[in-house]
Amino acid sequence: MKNINIGAGQTYIPGFINIDIDEKADITIDLSVDKLPFETSSVDLVFTYHTLEHIPNYLFALSEIHRVLRPGGILLVGVPYVSLTKYNLVNPYHLHNFNEHSFHFFDALKGSAVEKNPILFKKVFHRCHYMRIFNLIPYPLNRVCRNHFFNVVRKIDFGLVAIKDDHDSISIPKKKELKRLFKETANKRVPYVKIESKADRSVFYRYLRDVYNWWNGY
């Protein structure tokens, strides 16, 4: 299997081909203008975590991901949620916004602009990560909050299947399978930074703690 990790700036995934604009990656390219160096329909899995929102030519990057994925290939995406004001909407480096409907525009069954767009994906799941107290609010009340208020959801994950031809006979994995695959893949990420001493580890762990608190709005 050929698996690639797109946006491997600070972390890499062992066993994956890690791609980023940063020179630490296995392959260094600018996904806004450079084609992925793989043959068409040659990749089984693409994982990209908090990267698509940074790419100026997002549609070009997505078209390249679609091109290299085999029919039925898997795209796992993690991005900030559109209504997160503190760390998303005010971030000048976040060029695109995402919510649970973002990938419906690439599903032929949903219609819309996809009629003129060769990028076709079938969304299998999306998973919202709620901010603190909203985790305690049951469905569908949490959905009402998500649709009407800011800072309810901090990030969102997607599991997508590449469709190359409407007539292709492909097996669509179950939601539970793709959710588990997303979690397992995300947990495999390893920092490029090598920790040499206890003092370095202490600084590094404090950094991770600060990032965690920042991400959770503490």
How many C-beta neighbours within 10 Å does residue 204 have?
A: 14
Burial class (CB in 10 A: 0-12, 13-18, 19+), 3: middle
The whole-number mean pLDDT for each consecutive block of 10 residues of the chain, a chain of 218 residues, reads 89 94 91 95 96 90 96 95 69 76 76 65 89 73 70 87 80 94 95 60 61 57
pLDDT score recorded for residue 217 = 52
The domain that holds 189 is classified in CATH as 3.40.50
Our CA dihedral for 25, 31, 33, 34, rounded to 10 degrees, sits at 50
CA torsion 19→20→25→26, rounded to 10°? 30
Which residues 6+ apart lie within 8 Å of 173 measured at CB? 74, 124, 159, 161, 181
136-159 confidence digits (pLDDT tens): 777 777 677 666 677 777 889 999
Domain housing 131: 3-215
- The domain total for the chain is 1
User: What local confidence, expressed as pLDDT, does residue 48 receive?
Assistant: 96
Q: What's residue 196's pLDDT?
A: 47
- CA torsion sign, 144 to 150 to 151 to 155? positive
Structure confidence at residue 24 (pLDDT):
87
